[in-house]
Homo-oligomer: A and B are copies of this chain.
Amino acid sequence: MEIKTLENIDITLSPTSKINEVDFENISFGNTFTDHMLVCDFADGKWQQPKIVPYAPITLDPSAKVFHYGQAIFEGMKAYKDDQDDVWLFRPEQNHDRFNKSAVRMCMPEVPEDIFLGGLKKLLQIEKDWVKKGQGNSLYIRPFMFASGKGVVAAPAQFYKFMILLSPAKAYYSGEVKVLIAEHYSRAANGGIGAAKAAGNYAGQFYPTKLANEKGYQQVIWTDDATHTKLEEAGTMNVFFRINDILYTAPTSERILDGITRKSLIELAKRENINVEVRSVLVDELVTAAKDGSLKEIFGAGTAAVVNPIVGFGYKEEYYELPKLENSLALELKAKLTNIQYKKADDTFGWTVKI
């Protein structure tokens, strides 16, 4: 695909840049932002003129509905720079599509493509120096929208703010990740908002994750809330299991986010003739496979880490260590996917989009 740059946008450039103050070699994920941001207000039933302005605090009425009723959604994307200094996005139309699905579920207005993708392109053109070359480096992109309309009445707002922030990122390394399978807490309900990238889905995970941290686990593997027998997501990522030489991942549903890394890994695995089956994996099945040695790998899949290998899992007070493999499918797939993202391998899927 090609993104048409949004030209009908008000631009106020920052008189100075922070870029020389940033130590790009030692940057923690999600805490440093570029010089500019995109802002567009929804009012009177329509999107107003989008603006690119210097990164700055925003001012809201304390009764703005985002503070009280949680109407807020986001996306996570990345921009990469190739060896020719061109900047690339990875399947950005998928993020735009999912963003609007989240918007519908949260009763918020959809954001048109020209503002979401065209505005992002313009913003990236201005901030292109913030995208650093080199495997692992990227510019993390955070499009988000929240209810700015006033009033402590539990009903959808009339006013919204759509924004895009950019944050330079190094390769995401989370250390050795052990996961704890949820026996009691849950991430999403049947008929709930688990498939939306809704803000409230994330805050609900913090407490169970804290309890897992206290037991020595970095993340929780979420199970279905009704029976806690089906493995669904790992932390804020989709999750894959390799039993013998078959990769399994749960089908997307109302409870499970339709992850773009997840679906890309499935397509990539198929191209590479890796057996991949999209079906629910049961907790019992995992425990049995861990005991008989057929469980080879578990990994999370998401935009921030791309692929996040897991070294072991806990369940019912038992810890199951995974084998250390020479030929990890997680690392093979991660290498192949990031090579596409960094334009070091042929993009046979047409996933990458030039800025």
Query: Bound state CA distance, A307 and B61, in angstroms?
Result: 30
- A29 interface residue, CB < 8 Å from B? yes
- A291 interface residue, CB < 8 Å from B? no
- A1 interface residue, CB < 8 Å from B? no
Say yes or no: A202-B107 contact (C-beta < 8 A), given A163-B62, A186-B189, A189-B187. no
- A33 interface residue, CB < 8 Å from B? yes
B-chain residues with CB within 8 Å of residue A150 when the two chains form the complex: 31
- A43 interface residue, CB < 8 Å from B? no
B-chain residues with CB within 8 Å of residue A55 when the two chains form the complex: 62
Shortest distance from the beta carbon of A99 to any chain B beta carbon, whole Å: 13
A156 touches B206 (CB 8 A): yes
A71 touches B206 (CB 8 A): yes
B-chain residues with CB within 8 Å of residue A351 when the two chains form the complex: none
Contact mask for chain A residues 156-197; partner B; CB cutoff 8 A; 1 contact, 0 none: 100000010101000000000000001011111111110000
- A203 interface residue, CB < 8 Å from B? yes
B203 touches A198 (CB 8 A): yes
B-chain residues with CB within 8 Å of residue A193 when the two chains form the complex: 200, 203-204
Query: Bound state CA distance, A140 and B192, in angstroms?
Result: 29
B-chain residues with CB within 8 Å of residue A240 when the two chains form the complex: none
Contact of A70 among B29, B33, B203 (CB under 8 A): B203
B-chain residues with CB within 8 Å of residue A191 when the two chains form the complex: 182, 184-186, 208, 225, 228
A206 touches B152 (CB 8 A): no
Which residues 52-67 of A have a CB within 8 angstroms of B?
55, 57-63, 66-67
Shortest distance from the beta carbon of A146 to any chain B beta carbon, whole Å: 5
- Beyond the given A190-B226, A198-B204, could you list 9 further A-B residue pairs with CB under 8 A, ordered by the A residue number? A30-B152, A57-B62, A62-B163, A63-B142, A69-B203, A70-B70, A154-B205, A182-B191, A193-B200
Leading 8 A-B pairs by shortest Cβ distance = A200-B200, A70-B199, A189-B189, A226-B226, A107-B206, A186-B191, A70-B200, A189-B225
Listed by A's residue number, 24 A-B pairs whose Cβ atoms lie within 8 Å are: A55-B62, A57-B62, A60-B60, A62-B165, A63-B142, A68-B199, A69-B202, A69-B206, A70-B72, A71-B203, A71-B206, A72-B203, A105-B204, A106-B203, A140-B152, A154-B235, A154-B236, A156-B206, A186-B192, A192-B192, A193-B204, A200-B200, A200-B204, A225-B226
